[in-house]
Amino acid sequence: MPSEARQIKLPLTADVIAQLRAGDSVGLSGAVYTARDAAHQRLISALEAGQQLPIDLDGSVIYYCGPTPAPPGRVIGAAGPTTSSRMDPFAPRLYAAGVQATIGKGQRALQVRQACREYGSLYLIAIGGAGALLSSFITQAEVVAYAELGPEAIRKLTVAEFPVLVGYDIHGGSIFPGDEDLD
């Protein structure tokens, strides 16, 4: 990431979220949860059934990531982002439940951009295919839910200056060339 990355401690505050603009380079420090395809289906089913969730979504950051197993001496293996658009059907519901930001790669459906604006939440992007490099910004990892899903289990990661770019901000802006601003 460029040296001008803005360093931010998690959880995000509404003020900080409002200041960020699509394209900004940011370093995140604090806790994020991994969740991808199968974990999303379970979280949504639990939400719809009114069941208690295994993690507190309010104020959380969700990282679309299924890491490789940790080799001896490391806290985690390769841990880059997976394609966000597969989680598009679930994202607005999770933003509504208090998720402050999601981290993934690639463009997303219009309803996700709209949800970012509506709920005051961000979509952040990490560099796809840089799994070895990104793992070096993770200082702790523990499985906290759905262990039976293996790589798709929900992990709580502690990250330090984890490099991301703001993909969609809360003002309707997008980092992707060709995306018009909303409105």
Partner 1 sequence: MREIQSSQITEVIAELCQRVNYELPEDVVEALRRSREAATSQVARTVLDQLLENARLAREEHIPYCQDTGLAVVFVELGQDVHLVGGDIYAAIDAGVRRGYEEGYLRRSVVGDPLDRATNTGDNTPAIVHLRMVPGEEIKLHLAAKGGGSENMSALWMLTPADGAEGIIEAIVGRIQEAGGKPCPPLILGVGIGGNFEKAALLAKEALLRPLGQPNDDPQLAELEQRILEAVNATGVGPMGLGGGATALAVHLLSYPCHLASLPVALNVQCHAARHRSVTI
Residues near partner 1 (CB under 8 A): 1-2, 23, 25, 37-38, 41, 65-71, 74, 77-80, 82-85, 105-107, 125, 127-136, 148-152, 163, 165, 175-178
Q: Which residues contact 22 (CB under 8 A, 6 or more apart)?
A: 166, 167, 168, 169, 173, 174, 175
Q: Least CB distance from residue 161 to partner 1, whole Å? A: 14
Cis peptide before 11 (omega within 30 of 0): yes
- Closest by CA to 56, choosing from 97, 14, 15, is 97
Rounded-to-integer distance, Cα 17 and Cα 100, Å: 8
Tell me the catalytic residues: 40
Q: Least CB distance from residue 46 to partner 1, whole Å? A: 15
Contact in structure between 124 and 101 (CB atoms under 8 Å): yes
Contact in structure between 87 and 106 (CB atoms under 8 Å): no
Specify the residue, 152 or 169, whose C-beta has the smaller distance to partner 1.
152
Rounded-to-integer distance, Cα 89 and Cα 11, Å: 24
Specify the residue, 15 or 177, whose C-beta has the smaller distance to partner 1.
177
